[in-house]
Amino acid sequence: MITIKEVAKYADVSVATVSRVINNKGYVQAETRQKVEEAIRLLNYRPNNVARSLFKKQSKMIGYIVPDITNPYFPQLVRAVEDVTVKAGFTTFLCNSDDDLQKEQMYLEKMLENHIDGVIIVSNNIEARHLENIHLPIVALDRVFHEKIPSVTIDNYDGARRAVMHLLENGCKKIAHLKGPEIIENSNLRKKAYEDVMEENKLPIIIGAGNYQFKDAEMTMKSLLELHPDIDGVFAGNDVMAVGVLKALNRMRIHVPEQIKLVGFDGIEWTETVSPEITTIAQPIYDMGKKAATMLMERINGQAVGEDHIVLETELKVRETTNNGKF
Amino acid sequence: MITIKEVAKYADVSVATVSRVINNKGYVQAETRQKVEEAIRLLNYRPNNVARSLFKKQSKMIGYIVPDITNPYFPQLVRAVEDVTVKAGFTTFLCNSDDDLQKEQMYLEKMLENHIDGVIIVSNNIEARHLENIHLPIVALDRVFHEKIPSVTIDNYDGARRAVMHLLENGCKKIAHLKGPEIIENSNLRKKAYEDVMEENKLPIIIGAGNYQFKDAEMTMKSLLELHPDIDGVFAGNDVMAVGVLKALNRMRIHVPEQIKLVGFDGIEWTETVSPEITTIAQPIYDMGKKAATMLMERINGQAVGEDHIVLETELKVRETTNNGKF
DNA sequence: CTGTTAGCGCTTTCAT
DNA sequence: ATGAAAGCGCTAACAG
């Protein structure tokens, strides 16, 4: 490994000068700069970012904790973050927490040890108190931890309301909801919205217990239909479950949307790969990641501080599972 | 940030002693150790891994370059790698290259600058010569770069042959193939296998140009059917395209598998979310990631060297798109 | 404009 | 068994 010292010797200048040219900082005569650049090229010198980090106490690395990259909601979110951070010269550590507080804390420790400059977290466990002695720019994504910690989210309650109302507007009277895990706050909000709309319209509440997983949703839908054969609409707590529901329906030769209409939530690609395509409340997933990353960068660079809480808009994407005409 | 010095002062010992206890190395009297541990706990000291890396010239970090985490083939591969590396105390840098050589090289540089200990690469551009002055343990995943660089792959040619033969065995006579991008070696191997089997059986070759993308596959399938309305089998170069093909077929009200049978390649989850479920040549994706990560760890720890080239087995998963009875 | 030098926090000889 | 001190590669005063 070539060091700055060797470059300095080769170029016959001091290490300070070499440092100046590689950082483009301070005065260096054009001629000297040339010499140094020449030496750098010839020796194939590469600055050692570890040494740099040690001195500067910042590493140009950020951490990113998500529950599970294997969940189709996350890849886009991850991609967006990387796209903006890499432009700003940062590299990204990816950590899968499985939504397990222990793992999350373990990763946070590691990041601290590695002098990470900031971190983006998607978590249902972390609360403000876990972050107390983490003196680091943090942005919460997809969930609010605390008013003091900036966040990027969507309005789950509002989105879910629109989903259920859309079913109503399409003539559904007996609408079932597949709820998500109770530890996930988003999923509770979506459920609450469903319940509220149904109550407001004096319609029966039918809830199936789901876990945001595909396979189970398929099963749950089947049992739900045995109990309530007259269901004519389903609001799935997320798209992954919506796909499971659709599969169950297809298998039972129940026509969608003619017999049962279906709406999901999230806007993942899966909703467009199946037939019929699934109507969903789409989150601006990529934009959320982008926004969170931008906010983090600003905080790291000291251009912004404080507790922004960005709430982005969801969009009802009307597709074939609620649209009789099209499929 | 608490440093080793402060701990030393607090415990009234030298930094050397503190270092000995945190690393569990060298002689420390039980009593002294207690004092130091006490101090560490009280001060909430955390060793600075940057300083450590600088000295040791290894960072306990590995890099991971994939084309695009958004492609449904990669999340599992990424997850597997993280699962094994984190157990060995490493953290993982994720990089999306978009299969762009420039980006790949940029990331490689960054990794070098950060004293990364090793790297796993999935790439169709990188060749041995690009890695010449990267003196770092490397494992190639999903593709072989050079005989000198260890790799984990599957036998694409063999898998594809089995796919086509499976269609043949199910009575298909007019089998079309949707090929992938020509720059992707895997895709060429799969195409070659298709061509060979068809020639051996004196059957016509019908190839549609795909790009491993979903939307385009849908279109391509439609035009292919206009030219050859009597196609009775399709071998898609990957599962993503297979899903596109299926969607086109569903839309055209062509019954699968009765009128046309379909086989994909990869074994991604998408093949199970759609109806009918898609028969595919499944790669052991998770195992591939795991194996690659294990090999990298071994090389970093000096437990293994040399040029292992692991070729894992694919598995024909017979599902509804080739099985008349089931759906 | 350029060089000298003192650290950044840690590990590791080398003494004691 | 413990401490003193050198040094990993780099940056930033400071001096000239």
Q: What is the CATH number of the domain that holds B21?
A: 1.10.260.40
The CATH number of the domain holding residue B112 is 3.40.50.2300
Range of the domain at A176: 156-283+316-323
- Which of B61, B269, B275 faces A250 most closely, judged by CB atoms? B275
Any domain includes A55: no
Average of per-residue pLDDT across A212-236: 96
Any domain includes A230: yes
pLDDT band for A24, please (50, 70, 90 cuts): very high
**Lowest-confidence pick of A106-115, A175-184, B232-241:** A106-115
pLDDT of residue B327: 46
pLDDT at A327 over 60: no
Given a contact cutoff of 8 angstroms between Cβ atoms, the answer to whether B193 and B314 are in contact is no
B270 and B203 part of one domain = yes
Angle between helices B15-23 and B30-43 (to 10 degrees): 90
Residue with tokens 């609409």: A233
pLDDT at A326 over 70: no
A72 and A128 part of one domain = yes
Average of per-residue pLDDT across A210-231: 96
B138 and B189 part of one domain = no
* A contacts of B59 (beta carbons < 8 Å): 50
B197 and B220 part of one domain = yes
Any domain includes B55: no
Using alpha carbons, select from A298, A275, A297 the residue that is nearest to residue A90.
A297
Given a contact cutoff of 8 angstroms between Cβ atoms, the answer to whether A212 and A185 are in contact is no
- Which of A46, A112, A246 faces B112 most closely, judged by CB atoms? A46
Express each pLDDT in A28-68 by its tens digit. 999 999 999 999 999 999 999 999 999 999 899 999 999 99
What is the pTM (predicted TM-score) of this model? 0.92
How far, in Å, CA of A233 to CA of A251, rounded? 17
Question: Which residue in chain B has the smallest CA separation from A134?
Answer: B1
Radius of gyration over every alpha carbon of chain A, rounded to an integer in angstroms: 26
Which of A322 and B135 is assigned the larger pLDDT?
A322
How far, in Å, CA of A104 to CA of A114, rounded? 15
Q: In chain B, how many domains are there?
A: 3
| Cβ <8 Å between A48 and B214 | no
How far, in Å, CA of B5 to CA of B261, rounded? 70
B162 and B148 part of one domain = no
pLDDT of residue A305: 79
| pLDDT < 70 stretches in chain B | 324-327
Report phi then psi at A273, rounded to 5: -90, -20
B161 and B278 part of one domain = yes
* Strand C contact at CB of residue A31, distance < 7 A: yes
Express each pLDDT in A240-291 by its tens digit. 999 999 999 999 999 999 999 999 999 999 999 999 999 999 999 999 999 9
Residue B44: which H helix or E strand, with range?
A: none
A127 and A219 part of one domain = no
Report phi then psi at B198, rounded to 5: -65, -45
B194: left (phi over 0), alpha (psi -120 to 50) or beta: alpha
pLDDT of residue B134: 84
User: Contacts for B193-200 with beta carbons within 8 Å, 24 or more apart?
Assistant: B193/B156, B193/B157, B193/B158, B193/B159, B193/B160, B193/B161, B193/B163, B193/B164, B194/B160, B194/B163, B194/B164, B194/B235, B196/B161, B197/B161, B197/B164, B197/B165, B197/B168, B198/B164
pLDDT of residue B325: 56
Average of per-residue pLDDT across A74-90: 95
How far, in Å, CA of B22 to CA of B277, rounded? 54
B172 and B204 part of one domain = yes
| Cβ <8 Å between B50 and A54 | yes
Nucleotide showing the shortest C1' distance to residue B50 CA: C9
pLDDT of residue B305: 78
Given a contact cutoff of 8 angstroms between Cβ atoms, the answer to whether B204 and B174 are in contact is yes
* Strand D contact at CB of residue A311, distance < 7 A: no
Chain B closest-CA separation from residue A171 CA (Å): 25
Any domain includes A54: no
Any domain includes B53: no
Per-residue 3-state assignment (H helix, E strand, C coil) for chain A: CCCHHHHHHHHCCCHHHHHHHHHCCCCCCHHHHHHHHHHHHHHCCCCCHHHHHHHHCCCCEEEEEECCCCCCCHHHHHHHHHHHHHHCCCEEEEEECCCCHHHHHHHHHHHHHCCCCEEEECCCCCCHHHHCCCCCCEEEECCCCCCCCCEEEECHHHHHHHHHHHHHHCCCCCEEEEECCCCCHHHHHHHHHHHHHHHHCCCCCEEEECCCCHHHHHHHHHHHHHHCCCCCEEEECCHHHHHHHHHHHHHCCCCCCCCCEEEEEECCCHHHHCCCCCEEEECCHHHHHHHHHHHHHHHHCCCCCCCCEEEECCEEECCHHHCCCCC
Count A/B contacts: CB-CB distance under 8 Å.
131
Report phi then psi at B174, rounded to 5: -120, 90
Exposure string over A167-196, b if 16+ CB within 10 A, otherwise e: bbebebeebbbbbbbeebebbbbbbebbbe
Helix (H, G, I), strand (E, B) or coil at B304: coil
Tokens in use for A261?
Answer: 């209409």
Residue at minimum CA to C1' distance from nucleotide C9: B51
* Strand D contact at CB of residue B20, distance < 7 A: yes
Nucleotide showing the shortest C1' distance to residue B23 CA: C11
Any domain includes A81: yes
pLDDT at A87 over 80: yes
Residue B226: which H helix or E strand, with range?
A: helix B214-227
Using alpha carbons, select from A152, A161, A153, A107 the residue that is nearest to residue A130.
A107
* Strand D contact at CB of residue B15, distance < 7 A: yes
| Cβ <8 Å between A48 and B82 | no
- Which of A75, A115, A247 faces B75 most closely, judged by CB atoms? A75
Edge-to-edge strands, sheet with B261-266:
B206-209, B175-179, B233-236, B261-266, B279-282, B315-317
Which residues, including other chains, have CB under 8 Å from residue A101's CB and lie 6 or more apart?
A125, A126, A130
B183 and B269 part of one domain = yes
Q: What is the dihedral of CA A124, A127, A132, A138, to 10 degrees?
A: 50
Any domain includes A26: yes
A175 and A109 part of one domain = no
pLDDT band for A128, please (50, 70, 90 cuts): confident
How far, in Å, CA of A152 to CA of A139, rounded? 8
Any domain includes B52: no
* B contacts of A69 (beta carbons < 8 Å): 69, 75, 78-79, 82
Residue at minimum CA to C1' distance from nucleotide D5: B16
Tokens in use for B177?
Answer: 């193939």
Given a contact cutoff of 8 angstroms between Cβ atoms, the answer to whether A278 and A241 are in contact is no
* A contacts of B79 (beta carbons < 8 Å): 68-70, 96
Nucleotide showing the shortest C1' distance to residue A19 CA: D11
B163 and B270 part of one domain = yes
Name, of A9-18, A91-100, A234-243, the range with top average pLDDT: A234-243
* Strand C contact at CB of residue A156, distance < 7 A: no
How far, in Å, CA of A186 to CA of A160, rounded? 10
B223 and B136 part of one domain = no
Mean pLDDT value across chain A: 94
